[in-house]
Amino acid sequence: MSTVDEFTDEFTEANETSPSPQSAARRILIITCMDARILPTPTAAFGLPVGSAFTVRNAGVERDSEALRSVVIAQQRLTTREIRVLHHTDCGLETFDDNVLRTQLIRNPPKPGVVIRSTVQSMSFLPFKDQRQTVRDDVAFLREHPLVLAGTVITGWIYNVQSGRIERVLD
């Protein structure tokens, strides 16, 4: 048996499973960062049991339409009516700006010999300096977006990766 198989068996025995992959019992969607330090799961950070909320993860949470596709699907097909935007302390997106990453990519393209300058020049990697403002911006983006259902409860939070505590930033 492989190490992955052994881990899967242990994980399955130790953890509850979701009642149904097609429903979130509390109709909540959590949008959060892909950072692995948001442990054990984003739902657990809010004290929610497995199966009570959907989770969307990406680099730095929202700030543009990256997670919007998942929001629309969750609302239109899975009856989600609450969105919690969850940022975290010590985020890697606070450590650089677009030009730093663009320069890195141009100097060391992911595929050697491929010219990518024009592709990365138009990309924004969405770094930020003020985390609390970024949470506010993300919440405002969702509240104002025409594809997000009217009346959706949208709140903003910050997860402290050292203490495991969450702080509400915006109701």
Binding site listing: 33, 35, 88, 91
Residue 21 burial class via C-beta count within 10 angstroms: exposed 0-12, middle 13-18, buried 19 and up: exposed
Residues annotated within a binding site for Zn(2+)? 33, 35, 88, 91
Nearest C-alpha neighbor of 124 from the set 64, 70, 67 = 64
Q: What angle do CA 101, 105, 107 make, to 5 degrees?
A: 115
Q: In angstroms, what is the C-alpha Rg of the chain? A: 18
